[in-house]
Amino acid sequence: MTLLTPDICVIGAGSGGLSVAAAAAAFGVPVVLVERGKMGGDCLNYGCVPSKALIAAGKQAHLMQGGAAFGIAPAEAEVNFRQVMKHVEATIAAIAPNDSVERFTALGVQVIQEEARFKDGRTVIAGDYEIRARRFVIATGSSPLVPPIQGVDDVPYLTNETIFSQTRRPAHLIVVGGGPIGMELAQAHRRLGSEVTVVEALAALGKDDPELTAFALRNIRSEGVNVLEHTKVTQVEKRGRSGVRVHVEDTDGTRSIDGSHLLIAAGRTPNTASLELDRAGIQHDRRGIKVSDKLRTSNRRVYAIGDVAGGLQFTHVAGYHAGLVIRALLLRLPAREDRNIIPWATYTDPEIAHVGLNEEEARKSHRKISILRWPYCENDRAQAERKTEGLIKLVTDRKGRILGASIAGANAGEMINFWALAISRKLGVRDIAGYVSPYPTMTEIGKRAAITYFTETTRKPLVRAVVRFLRRFG
């Protein structure tokens, strides 16, 4: 055994762990990074990057069929699925050097490619190394959760860890789970020519406001994805040589659906099993490692960040957590997580994005709120682009401070940046109404929504007339 005594030992080289390790090295702090799989973690290899590359390919195919409205004859896209997956692979390969062992070693990080486990409260074992660090940061991420469906162990199924290495287009992909991952992959596969069925036990995209998800669901269904909501998968079995039969149950009774491939996208489970956390006195449950708002675990030497910390599971959250831990460990500055400022986006078409409180949460925590809406169809750029399906919905308090923003529509994932800044800086509708937005841009939709605050809260006819004018020309 080789004994290492760095200042910081990071476990997991994904979105969170890499950021901590890079920052520590930049400050000249001795740091060891332990990774058991591929550098870059889920986001680069099995998550955000390949899924967004596949979505981009699907979008390209879809655009070819959508020219009629612009006076351009629609063309049937000829999809070469193998080449599509080469594009996915090439996208990962283009980004991978940023996360590589070579790059991190050059930055001054000691990278150990082994699985880590705790020996005791201040020691981690990784292969032939015993690491006794001043502080540990657990950033081990999460894995696909496979629900205990009858027969699941006897059928071949795909998860996010295997679907991006398929080289043949699934003839009929059955997706178990209608959350963001399931719906993004369902729409992308449909656009690339697969028949697709999604089975969701509750409401599809159920973590977002139904007023907004309705836009995405309507479009996804109109493209031919069969989305079954409030439908439970009761059993799966093999059909023929490589197919699958999925038995489902809803209020009308039971039936079965035959497909060629099964994708399980039914949630995530934290990667804690191999860490032997109990030896280090680190409390955890099935949602993840328990952390304080400073991301400290029940062992004061140990922090946990990203997916494994049991909160919102996004790359930018892992990055945000990494920033907080760096503040605390390297700069000794106060650092508390503020979940309210964290945006998220689902990259279906149309996209759905949200930050802050939704209407229901705001009603619970505030006595009086305003809901401000503006539809995409009232935006000139959206008309020109023929992207008129969508809505922005703002939630403000009595004084007009922005509490939350939700957008469904084209570029929602880009537009939510603006609102994430507005909420983190505690801006109000007056700030939004007072800035100048270039015309014609879709971001103007938000400004228009903010201006409606004044019509909603005033009874003075002159003010209403001015606001009407501003809404038209402001």
- Which segments are annotated as binding site? 52, 140-142, 177-184, 200, 267, 307
User: What is the rounded distance in angstroms from the CA atom of residue 241 to the CA atom of residue 373?
Assistant: 52
Cβ-contact 406, 372 below 8 angstroms: no
CB of 428 to ligand FAD, least distance (A): 28
314 counts as binding ligand FAD under rule CB under 6 A: yes
Closer to ligand FAD by Cβ: residue 275 or 467: 275
Q: Note whether 236 binds ligand FAD by CB under 6 A.
A: no
Of 374 and 418, which has the nearer Cβ to ligand FAD?
Answer: 418
Smallest separation (angstroms) from ligand FAD to the CB of 249: 27
254 DSSP β-pair partners = 249
In order, the DSSP letters of 306-333 are: GGGGTS---HHHHHHHHHHHHHHHHS--
Cα–Cα dist 439/425, whole Å: 25
Of 90-98, 290-298, 310-318, 370-378: span binding ligand FAD (CB under 6 A): 310-318
- If binding is defined by CB under 6 A, does position 34 make contact with ligand FAD? yes
Specify the residue, 52 or 373, whose C-beta has the smaller distance to ligand FAD.
52
**Nearest residue to ligand FAD, using CB?**
14
Please give the structure tokens belonging to residue 448.
């228009």
Interacting positions 174-193 with ligand FAD (CB under 6 A) = 181
CA-to-CA distance for 431 and 11, rounded, in angstroms?
43
Pick out residues in 48-87 that bind ligand FAD (CB under 6 A): 48, 51-52
Over the Cα atoms of the chain, what is R_g? Answer: 24
Q: Which of 30, 37, 323, 428 binds ligand FAD (CB under 6 A)?
A: 37
Task: Quote the CA–CA distance of 221 and 158 in Å, as a whole number.
Answer: 23
Length of the chain: 474
Distances (CA, A) of 172 to 17, 160, 163, 189, 394: 37, 17, 14, 9, 39
Candidate list 316, 363, 373, 401; residue touching ligand FAD; CB under 6 A: 316
Residue 94 CB, nearest approach to ligand FAD (Å): 17
Which residues between 122 and 151 bind ligand FAD (CB under 6 A)?
A: 139-141
Q: Nearest 5 degrees, angle CA 282-CA 285-CA 289?
A: 45
- Positions touching ligand FAD (CB under 6 A) are 11-17, 34-37, 41-43, 46-48, 51-52, 115-116, 139-141, 160, 181, 271, 274-275, 306-308, 313-316, 318, 347
